[in-house]
Amino acid sequence: MTATTDGSTGAADLRAAPAGEPTDTTTAADDVLAAARRAAERSVEHLLGRQDEQGWWKGDLATNVTMDAEDLLLRQFLGIQDPATIEATARFIRGEQLGDGTWATFYEGPGDLSATIEAYVALRLAGDRPQDPHMVRAAGWVREQGGIAGARVFTRIWLALFGWWKWDDLPELPPELMFLPRGCRSTSTTSAAGRGRPSSRSPSSPPRGRSAPRPSPWTSCTRTRPARTRPSRWPLP
């Protein structure tokens, strides 16, 4: 054996701990396991406390402003506008706008073209004016990104329902659609509905006594726009 500087052999340092004797490693692992069990028990207790007597749970749906914007579009299309709901929804959409005038699709995410277009149109329906600072920022950013032509097909289907985008410039529904994964069902459903090309007339007069519709603020943007596409008018000035 090699002697240490103090003359000992160092053999005691190499001996393993006796069987069954706890070590620092096993103690730490036990502590982590115990903490995990306590956390799981508290989670179960919390969830059971929120469960309805009939066995279900109710909670908030964490999503982005496209759901709220599309709700306003649907209400407009069906003619079931509710002033209180419109005002509350518009207030929420405004509160989610980013500093550069855009709307994101997830928390702290970058501005999304489709979400920004839908939010902008919904706010127009709610009565926001295009010259309002938050609307100017949104419209300017959309122009910089190439306009509506770069938006997802889902967004353009919504616009086509009001004549703000041409059905001819939307993709046809191929039979191979049946092979798409289940996650595509939302777009598949709206694409199937688009075969009938339903349309609702744009509001002839805006709420709150504002003037008649004007041309789209994005009509000057031609980049990436299909040649046949000529968006008519936005719902409200």
Confidence of residue 12 (pLDDT cuts 50, 70, 90): very low
Residue 34 falls within a domain, yes or no? no
Q: Are 150 and 113 in contact (CB under 8 A)?
A: yes
Q: Are 133 and 108 in contact (CB under 8 A)?
A: no
- Supply the range of the domain harboring residue 103: 65-209
Residue 201 falls within a domain, yes or no? yes
Residue 57 falls within a domain, yes or no? no
Three-state secondary-structure class, residue 147: coil
Greater pLDDT, 147 or 9: 147
Confidence of residue 171 (pLDDT cuts 50, 70, 90): confident
For residue 131, give Cα distances in angstroms to 15, 120, 136, 149, 214. Answer: 81, 12, 6, 23, 12
Residue 27 falls within a domain, yes or no? no
Residue 19 falls within a domain, yes or no? no
Residue 18 falls within a domain, yes or no? no
pLDDT exceeds cutoff 80 at 188: no
> The CATH number of the domain where 164 resides is what?
1.50.10.20
Residue 234 falls within a domain, yes or no? no
Residue 217 falls within a domain, yes or no? no
Quickly list H helices, the chain. 11-14, 24-50, 65-78, 83-95, 113-126, 133-144, 153-160, 185-193
**Which among 226, 237, 146, 154 has a CA at the least distance from the CA of 190?**
154
Total count of residues recorded for the chain: 237
Domain count, the chain: 1
- Per-residue pLDDT tens digits for 30-54: 889 999 999 999 999 999 999 999 9
